Structure 1
């Protein structure tokens, strides 16, 4: 009995062990599959190129910045030329473009704004040319300029920038900046100036979140300068944010983001010294006032800040610059020029007021547009 009992006990133990082992192997197999699946998901998430999600998705979590951006110039930089906000400034009106360009009359159509050119202001003048402009650049807070895209016989794109723009400063038409001394080299340039290659692509790139000119079209167009223009495509950030309450930081899509990176980012469109003629920088012609980073990098404030001064030191990049009062901008100055700090340079005139008017005055450029000079300095006239 004892031997038979021991035999059955051993058999039962072996079978039980095998069964447990079989179940363990089954569980381990599932676990390996789960881990392999999770690993594949991580690899896929890490290797798939992020895509654009649109500013409305960004606004789901970043509502304050989203609302600030809606009222900024960045949110209104690229338009179809037949949109109501553009048509109201042009349609039914006539502009004098000067000799030999003549007079332009604007009519809204299904494909954009049609511009009729006559030698004289007389509407009965029979000598008429016309050009249809598909798009408009600019928020209208300073100006709105019409552009037309076309392709040459070899298929390369060409952009026609209209000679006349609408300006808020005087609520009417004036010559587009840079066109004052332009001389037409072909008939089409009686409507404006032609651009090809990199300047053409840069023009569209700076006014959009996404867009590449191919022939007479803008492919993958996302109009205006929205969140993902500066922060980069947000699909991966959104994926992580929806899985975790504490997703990784996402400044502008770079782990090594620093002060110089921000200046380069803003300067890519607002201009850096490499984008303009060195002689224009040396002479500091009035047009340089429009290109704020060029002035900023010449200032002692920037040069002596040891890399700590950047555009967002004073400006909220999501908001219109008028969202801060002049006193708040002065407070920014005082924060770096404290009279009780031996390491700070202190103004000999006032330590609490007048900073902007003396060192960054508002100045007029072409067509009455006003910009603050960002070459922060003791000016010769002071």
Structure 2
């Protein structure tokens, strides 16, 4: 009987100790992180991972959403370059008013509505802009498109009328922000708590909550094995692909629960109704916009190897415009010694060191996003994105050969 009492006393005494240890690991988490006490905030990564963090802040992922300002809006506000003309007297002007930037709609030079640039979305191919009206987010009617080097209709907008009332839903934000919390719906309106917004894709959006990890390694700095965090290297190939597919899996298939709760190592099928239908039923293949996770696995390179997204992409480095670097990734696997080298090499010559990507992963027009510079169509341009289905594209190969011949490379 005495032994039982002693055992019970020891067991009870251990419970508070385990509770204290857990609280210790959570102690460094910022109280104001809207995701909860298990999150430490990306700034906490700087102490141990400063090089990676400082590099990552320059990437398109990190900067995919930011508070709008003159420093990060690419479009021109100068007179003569700040008007998008829809025809029939309709115009939208991008204007500086004091310290703020506005889009203003005009009908026969009379203002009909004006809203402020408040959030910038996008960095490389295009920028779209959002504004707050109370607790709702709306898309401004005019975007900036890199291919046009100027203003054009925002994606999905009717080119015959000016509309400031297109609401932004959670689905848009889940791939362009790290977090925002919903407010209870009122009168079928989707509202958000703007104080909870975490811009861009931060460290913990991909790596998961890190408060325990940060606190443990702060207490034990000599411990080099990562604790209380899921490392990319520990994942299976499927888990690695799913980590990217959360946002890069196209527009089909709805999330069963918010993708904000997806953490590295999770299985996407638990979160999303998976589908293999094309994004646009009028086109047989998945669209090049946002559906890389469906295009890449269909490639022979993927099927015949152990490659995943990280084989070519380093998410911590701003490398998206370095075509030569991506070509070197191809040549690291394809060589004469392995008997899998490009059959066009004799015709392409030394230029093959730069043009693998353009032949086998060409930039193609999205059928989901269309670009138009107003109703007159004088400044329309295709919205080009790189096709992640690695294959032979004879027309693209001929373009490269013609280019080489012209430039005498």
Alignment of 1:67-216 (within 5 A): 67-81=54-68, 83-86=69-72, 89=75, 91=77, 94-99=82-87, 102-108=90-96, 113-120=101-108, 125=109, 127-133=110-116, 135-150=118-133, 158-179=136-157, 190-192=162-164, 194-195=166-167, 200-214=169-183, 215=191
User: Deviations along 1:109-164, whole A, 9 cap, x unmatched?
Assistant: 689643221124xxxx3x3211324533334332221112446xxxxx65422221
Q: 2:247 aligns with which of 257, 264, 269?
A: 269
Q: Indicate the RMSD between aligned Cα atoms, in angstroms.
A: 4.0
Answer 1 or 2: higher relative contact order, Cα 8 Å, separation at least 6. Answer: 2
CA distance in 2, matches of 1:285, 1:238: 44
CA distance in 1, matches of 2:53, 2:24: 26
Change (3 A) 1:71 1:88: closer
Matched residue, 1:350? 345
CA distance in 2, matches of 1:320, 1:230: 17
Matched residue, 1:13? none
Shift of the alpha carbon at 1:338? 4.2
Give the number of aligned pairs.
330
CA distance in 2, matches of 1:131, 1:217: 23
1:337 counterpart = 2:334: yes
Q: 1:65 aligns with which of 26, 34, 52?
A: 52
Alignment of 1:361-380 (within 5 A): 361-363=362-364, 366=371, 367=381, 370-380=384-394
Change (3 A) 1:161 1:238: same
Residue aligned with 2:246, SS: helix
> Given the two structures, how large is their TM-score scaled by the length of structure 2?
0.67
1:232 counterpart = 2:220: no
> Given the two structures, how large is their TM-score scaled by the length of structure 1?
0.71
Unaligned runs of at least 5 residues, structure 2: 1-9, 28-35, 184-190, 254-274, 347-351, 372-380, 398-409
Matched residue, 1:54? 41
Q: Name which one, 1 or 2, has greater alpha-carbon Rg.
A: 1
Residue aligned with 1:61, SS: helix
8 Å contact kept, 2:250–2:290: no
CA distance in 2, matches of 1:85, 1:291: 30
Name the one with the larger helix percent: 1
8 Å contact kept, 2:250–2:289: no
Shift of the alpha carbon at 1:208? 1.6
Unaligned runs of at least 5 residues, structure 1: 1-30, 152-156, 185-189
Change (3 A) 1:286 1:38: closer
